[in-house]
Structure 1
Amino acid sequence: MNKVQVEILGLSASASTGGAYALLLKEIYGTRRLPIIIGAFEAQSIALEMEGIKPPRPLTHDLLKNIIDHLGGTITEVIIDELRDNTFFAKIKLEVSSLTNEIDSRPSDAIALAIRAGAPLYVSEEVMKIASFVPSSEEEREEDESDLEKPSSGKESIKSHPETKLAQLQDQLRDAIEKEDYERAAKIRDEINKLSSSSN
């Protein structure tokens, strides 16, 4: 399987998905971005670890990491390997006693564990082809100048960013097409075009 290494670019509240968050992954050796909608708990867990904030008692992902460590295991990598019915699927590669195991996971849980373990994040090339986007040159310039803020542990994370809004709209467009709601898809496509042209 061809895979692409990615890093976390940003995390923002997604008003359109009822309290969920948009996690934006960036291709390390390229320009593509991959938006993934995740739950508030997972977003908080990722944000806390990225900011180096240790809660007084371990969260679920800290507990899992501690168990893996105590059993002599190592998380070697996490890969988002499939997009099915508009849902992302991931695998955690775990090495215990020279044996490598692949464990199915939600991407948000896999990423929360990977950042605790310092393990690399990958996305299959097939998923990148289907779900990623390339930002406009102006959005990239803005990103270079302002550098997206790191996720915050509060309820609001990164400020509204054109690239994040575009990612959310593209995620909604995929969902509308998947559900064959073409009228909604057309409206979302028009919003994407409007946002793209205003940023050029």
Structure 2
Amino acid sequence: MSLIQLTIKGISYSQTQSGAYALVLSEMEGTKTLPIIIGAFEAQSIAIALEKEIRPPRPLTHDLFKTFSDRFSITIKQVIIHKLVDGVFFSSLTCEREGVEEIIDTRTSDAIALAVRFKAPIYTYENILDKAGIYLKADEELTIEEDLESDEIHVQLEEEPSRKSDLSHLSLKDLHTQLNDAVANENYEIAAKIRDEISKRS
């Protein structure tokens, strides 16, 4: 079976499962997407790894794994989503140390969070994409991209309504101050909202 390389298209709040998020992967060359339901913590971890402006003051679990691996010269060469059973995806990490490769089973959400940090390619098999992938027409793809632009990094756990409603009235200087405070206090969902408000004004 041939492997197909995937890329992260975005993260959005799941419309089907409360408190969950949809990680949307898409073919590097093709029109299929692969939606995977993941938990809030994993969504937050992936979103933070994709972000350039948000840096947690303390390492998240996946950051710790990356630091540990770097310290002991372990690299992740690739991630493969290799099985789909009853709607659950199974994945593996191909790791390498001193020329020796090892394959480790992992949850798909953890595998993606680590792949982003290691800049490792993500693959799946053609039969899995055929079974679970969604074909997109050009107009549908445009609509999804527009939806994901507004939702993809909104890893919202608990939101402070006053902070959200006040953002549009704050100056850029105040927004940057609040962004730094939110990151320092590890309020990443609020930090993402503030970051989005800053991006709108850029």
Q: Normalising by structure 2, report the TM-score.
A: 0.72
* Secondary structure, aligned partner of 2:116: helix
Query: Which structure's CA Rg is the greater one?
Result: 2
Distance 2:30 2:58 in 1: 38
Gaps of 5+ in 2: 158-202
Task: Please list, as runs of the form range in 1=range in 2, the aligned pairs for 1:178-189 lying within 5 A after superposition.
Answer: none
Asked whether the equivalents of residues 12 and 148 of structure 2 are also in contact (C-alpha less than 8 Å), the reply is no
Distance 2:142 2:155 in 1: 27
1:120-178 Cα offsets, whole Å, 9 max, x none, are: 1111112111100101332134457x48427325408xxxxxxxxxxxxxxxxxxxxxx
Q: Report the equivalent of 1:87.
A: 88
Shift of 1:54: 1.6
Cα distance change on mapping 1:18 and 1:143 into 2, 3 Å: closer
Q: Report the equivalent of 1:104.
A: 105
* Secondary structure, aligned partner of 1:16: coil
1:80-130 Cα offsets, whole Å, 9 max, x none, are: 010012210000110011001110001100000000011111111121111
| Greater than 4 Å deviation, 4+ residue runs | none
Q: Report the equivalent of 2:8.
A: 8
Shift of 1:22: 0.5
Q: Report the equivalent of 2:164.
A: none
Q: Percent identity?
A: 47
* Secondary structure, aligned partner of 1:34: strand
Q: Report the equivalent of 1:19.
A: 19
Q: Report the equivalent of 2:36.
A: 36
Q: Report the equivalent of 1:138.
A: 139
Distance 1:153 1:135 in 2: 23
Gaps of 5+ in 1: 157-200
Distance 1:131 1:147 in 2: 21
Asked whether the equivalents of residues 43 and 155 of structure 2 are also in contact (C-alpha less than 8 Å), the reply is no
Distance 1:142 1:16 in 2: 19
Shift of 1:15: 3.7
Asked whether the equivalents of residues 12 and 153 of structure 2 are also in contact (C-alpha less than 8 Å), the reply is no
Q: How many residue pairs get matched? A: 155
Asked whether the equivalents of residues 90 and 106 of structure 1 are also in contact (C-alpha less than 8 Å), the reply is yes
Asked whether the equivalents of residues 51 and 151 of structure 1 are also in contact (C-alpha less than 8 Å), the reply is no
Distance 2:13 2:147 in 1: 18
Q: Report the equivalent of 2:125.
A: 124
